[in-house]
Amino acid sequence: MYPAPFEYHRPGSVEDAIALLTTYEDDAKLLAGGHSLIPLLKLRFAQPKHLIDVRHIASLSGVREVDGAIVIGATTTHATLERSPLLRQMLPILPEAASQIGDAQVRNMGTIGGSLAHADPSADLPAVMLAVGAEMTAVGPRGARTIRAEEFFVDLLTTALASDEVLTEIRILVPAVGTGGAYEKYPHPASRYALVGVAAVVTLAGDAMQRAQIAVTGIGSTPSRAREVERALAGRPADAETIAAASSHVADGIEVRGDLTGPAEWRGAVAREHAARAITRAVQRARGEWATGARSA
């Protein structure tokens, strides 16, 4: 099916994009890589009269280090995340997850900002954002505000962004020494979306896990932190027994989805296995056994 007719806008700045959002209000939608929005337009699930293309706003793209944080522009593509030397050294969990998104075309067109703003319950990057403790910058007519990842993902396809706000960048603190991260995914065989995805970031103090941030995607209506797993890891030895016991809690508090790909019990079991794998590799990276950089998550 063809999309309903719309007017296409290509603003040159974030301010111009916000002005267009303010003018057209509910009749407007931002467009980035189009790999989630265009299918919705073609199915006519969304029929905005104005599409505001932010992909050509130069200030919204790129990965850089600023004052102890890694700052990623919202229109940075998955392919750029995958190849970024800075991320590969400092935050390899992110290129690792980005490299598993869809196929080459999806990664060349899709953007981190589009993925986070769309908030698909089976998307990969939201779980990584939760595990690394990212902060999102949203800019609108009332100025800029910071939204922590934990507050950003509200519900199925719903975020804390207001309809007149542009997600401009994602900020992640450079991980502390002794931190490692890993992403483990069970992809849908056709789309490659996560039937289950687990992101784990662990900071070691000697042989113990001082801190662990674990997030899961694909199993519930929204990505979420696995708090019970985190509690079961914190302060405990970083060994296989502890990791296996903690991972058994990965679906605690989540209404696990079942669908044609498998029942909820199966998804829960896959999540437990993938949590154990992700935490194990995160620990290895924290120890420098599986690292691409001295300080890496």
Give residues in contact with ligand FAD (CB under 6 A).
Answer: 29-37, 54, 74, 101-102, 106, 109-111, 113-115, 117-118, 120, 123-125, 161, 166-167, 191-193
Q: Find the shortest distance in angstroms from Cβ 77 to ligand FAD.
A: 8
Q: Find the shortest distance in angstroms from Cβ 38 to ligand FAD.
A: 6
Alpha helices (H) in the chain, listed in sequence order: 14-24, 37-42, 78-83, 85-90, 93-98, 104-109, 112-118, 125-132, 149-152, 227-233, 240-247, 264-286
Q: Pairing mode, if any, of strands 63-66 and 50-53?
A: unpaired
Question: Which is closer to ligand FAD, CB of 50 or CB of 249?
Answer: 50
Q: Find the shortest distance in angstroms from Cβ 176 to ligand FAD.
A: 27
| Nearest Cα residue to 112 out of 129, 100, 130 | 129
Question: Which is closer to ligand FAD, CB of 109 or CB of 219?
Answer: 109
Q: Find the shortest distance in angstroms from Cβ 118 to ligand FAD.
A: 4
Question: Which is closer to ligand FAD, CB of 53 or CB of 228?
Answer: 53
Question: What is the CA 5 to chain-centroid distance, rounded?
Answer: 31
Question: Which is closer to ligand FAD, CB of 135 or CB of 238?
Answer: 135
Q: Find the shortest distance in angstroms from Cβ 192 to ligand FAD.
A: 4
Asked whether the beta carbons of 96 and 88 are under 8 A apart, the reply is no
Question: Which is closer to ligand FAD, CB of 146 or CB of 176?
Answer: 146
Question: Which is closer to ligand FAD, CB of 101 or CB of 243?
Answer: 101
Cβ within 8 Å of residue 12, ≥6 positions away: 56, 57
Question: Which is closer to ligand FAD, CB of 78 or CB of 281?
Answer: 78
Cβ within 8 Å of residue 153, ≥6 positions away: 119, 126, 130, 159, 160, 222, 223, 224
In order, the DSSP letters of 216-274 are EESSSSS-EE-HHHHHHHTTSB-SHHHHHHHHTTTTTT-----BTTB-HHHHHHHHHHH
What are the phi and psi torsion angles at 30 (to 5°)? -75, 145
Amino acid in the structure at residue 24:
Y
